[in-house]
Amino acid sequence: MFRNFLLGLLTVGLFTGSTCDPKIMEDVLNSVLETTITEQEVASGLMEALVQGATNGSDLLSKVNGYLGNPQVKIPFPTEAQKIESTLRDLGMNKMCDDVINSLNRAAENAAIEAKPILINSIRSMTITDAMDILFGANDAATEYLKKTTTTQLTDKFSPIIESSLNKVGATKYWTDAVNYYNKIPLVADLNPDLEAYVTAKALEGLFYMVEQEELKIRQDPAARAAEIVQKVFGYYDTNK
């Protein structure tokens, strides 16, 4: 009934005095109805999209080589310790350096899965206003929102896991061996950066990078929008951005 009422209004109001193909009128009506969306639907659809992105991002990173095999998030020697790496490699200690890098990334991979429930909880807590601002914000608006709302909690969660993982995968030993070897070289200044804080920060940096990539994919690629509500919300976004 409502459809017929709208169809009548369109026919009388827009095409008085002219002839119009009923099929054209039906297409116009469908377009009007399809772009009608409530703020609650926007919030629900955006939450679903973010859950999808956060889940995909953390799942990818928590797999073997999730960090190590991805050049965009691979964790290198700490910046202030890259002199250690270059010096040791010059001395032929490539395996020692590779063991350090591999173990740092394994520790991050072990911790990544713990991010998912924290991210999802933050997503489920967002307001309708947050959702509307994010939907029509920058391409990384959702990721920036999650950084703002979860970084402290994620750091607190990641730190003990990273510490445990560093020991579990031998990173602490490899790192200590490398630093001690370097510090015994004559005429070099002793270096020993805080490994746990560094890996935690880099692990979170990589996590948010992956979430951002997932967000961008959902915004730009209709095929990446899995749930029907996500398709509806981002179809609305495509039309009105």
How many angstroms separate the CA atoms of 89 and 66, rounded?
25
Residue 123 in any domain: the answer is: yes
The predicted structure's pLDDT at residue 30: 46
What's the rounded mean pLDDT across residues 15-35?
46
Whole-prediction pTM: 0.76
Q: Specify the DSSP class assigned to residue 73.
A: T
Residue 25 lies in a domain: yes
Structural tokens at position 208:
């948010």
In this prediction, residue 3 carries a pLDDT of: 36
* Domain contains 130: yes
Asked if residue 60 has pLDDT above 90, the reply is yes
10 lies in a domain? no
For residue 179, tell me if it sits in a domain.
yes
The per-residue pLDDT for range 193-210, each reduced to its tens digit, is 678 888 999 999 999 999
Are 166 and 202 in contact, with CB atoms under 8 Å apart?
A: no
CA 59 to chain CA centroid, nearest Å: 11
- The span from the CA of 174 to the CA of 101, in Å, is 9
CA–CA separation, 230 and 44 (whole Å): 8
Domain tally, the chain: 1
Q: Are 176 and 103 in contact (CB under 8 A)?
A: no
Is residue 5 one of the residues assigned to a domain?
A: no
Of 20-24, 25-29, 134-138, the least confident: 25-29
SS3 (DSSP) at 169:
coil
Local confidence band at 73 (pLDDT 50, 70, 90 cut-offs): very high
- Residue 106: which domain range? 21-240
Q: Is residue 234 part of a domain?
A: yes
Closest CA to 141 of 235, 46, 41, 51: 46
Distance (Å, whole) CA 120 – CA 55: 8
Q: Among the residues of the chain, which ranges form H helices?
A: 2-15, 22-34, 39-62, 82-90, 94-112, 115-124, 128-135, 141-168, 171-183, 195-220, 228-240
Which pLDDT tens digit goes with each residue over 142-165? 999 999 999 999 998 888 888 888
Question: d(Cα 70, Cα 76) in Å, to the nearest integer?
Answer: 12
| Domain annotation covers residue 7 | no
d(CA 207, CA 109): 10
